[in-house]
Structure 1
Amino acid sequence: MREIKPPEEPVDFSNATSHARRTVGASIVSGVPATYPGLWSKYKAIFSKAQLGKCAYCEGQVLGLQYGDVEHIQPKAEVHTLDDNPNSWGREIPWSSSVEGRKAKGTAIKPGYWWRAYCWDNYLLSCQICNQQWKANFYPIVGEHVIAPTTCAGRTLLLSPFDAGFDPSAHFVFGRLGEISALSDEGRATIATCGLDRPSLRSARFKTALATHEHLDEIAQDLTEREVLRILRYIARDGQDSQPYCGMVRIIFIHRTGLPWDKLRDLISALSASGKPL
């Protein structure tokens, strides 16, 4: 994951969803199961542009490879929770995008965060595997879910790239094989909720993760400035916003060097301007 500037709410969004909001609210008040018109889907292109066509959770390419979803961060119809036991989180079926053995803790909470169904800041673009197979209606928080528009749900543990001041390096660490581990409660809950350490993802991230670690191994050796510059440019290329798993590359760089990602650009500029032939 990486921090992303959220897209601005379209000027027509409130009017376009006002009838649906009123209808859902009336159903909830009367005790009738609500129906949620999928009006959010018409705004998929806006989120795809903001996220450069990548899943907000796993950073895999969405458009062109698989059909993504405009996903509700806070589930609208019902809410499930995961047990603390990793054995209940489920596992990816080999050679399949499906999950088996995933068990919810207790019974589903119904209705869910229904008043958030048509809130712009409750959306992001997710790949179908992260959204439909893993996250679904799971929403981890600290404390208990209290489903009422005037009540705080509790501190959320599910991370979003749109979170203000989001620093993924404070929550995740990546190994050489593309495996991801948590550094915080939020990181652990997000990995479990979205299946971010599933084998297919580790495999997809493997080459980039290994290359980034090996590049940094090289820098630790006695190299010329020209060689260091060449390696830093490779890392900068793989960490560009448009690249799949660029957030992982940045996290590896930050943890391995102790430097912020923005410092990499400064290092490249300084070496390029050193006056020595490249």
Structure 2
Amino acid sequence: MTTTTNHDGADFTTGEGLRALLNRLHEAGEGAWASDPAARELMAYAAEKYTPLARKHGLDPWEAATAAFDAMQYASTRRADDPWAMVTHGVRITCIFEERAQGLLCSVHQARRPHVSAFHDPERFSDRENPLTDYHPAFHMTDPHDDADAEMDATGSGSDGGRGSDRACMSAGSAAEDVIALFTLLGWDPATARAGVEHVCGALTKTGTRQAAYEALRRDKHARALLDIPRSSWTALLRALLGNPHPAYSATTAGRGVLLRLLIGETLPVLLRDDDLILTISLAAPGHHDHPGGDRS
């Protein structure tokens, strides 16, 4: 059991006892900390005292004891009204920046600087459910010909004037109905399919781009709760309607999504011949894999 009194009989667990011991060690010189039995007992006590604080920040108890040792060297600690309060404050601050330094992969000295600690911890691409490459503009690469084709379809290729845009508006109005029919044919409840498709179309109208709509809707827990469908079904619905957001799929049928494919001229029979699309939609139908403990989070 650790003794908590020094050779003068003062209990260093109290503020005055600690002050007396620190003053004696200071007056004895640098070698006192290495040779004085009371100093060793004090550090063992500090390691035990600050173990919970160290573990809270993912550190070894002796790292907290080292921070306590550093705090005990200051004259301000010896002169403080409560020396232990000064030591505890110093240990807490050091533990915070030790943890911050480990997260930032830098030294504690750098982590104490505001312009460094303002950064977030490094993240691996695999740390998130949706990888950074799916939504960060720095990783996006689009096919310029794809945009040109879409613009040409919307304007009617210039050969029929305004009639092309009229057809585009008409096709946009009927595309949603075709998608609802597609999902219903593949096992989705008609009411659920209609509510889901109309919600996605509404969000697409507000955001203006499929990428922005996808990023907004994938985090829309309120809509998923109202529709009462599992997360896996919601994700499959978004990818089927808006396309896979990964840049590698931007010029493919998987990247375009069902809505755009219908608008650029594909028909429902053509979509029904897409085996990957059919399999994805049918397997994601709510209730297809319902079982106790299923994912509805």
Q: TM-score normalized by structure 2?
A: 0.26
Larger strand share, 1 or 2: 1
Q: TM-score normalized by structure 1?
A: 0.27
Larger helix share, 1 or 2: 2
Higher-RCO chain (CA-CA 8 Å, sequence separation at least 6) = 1
Bigger-Rg structure (1/2): 2
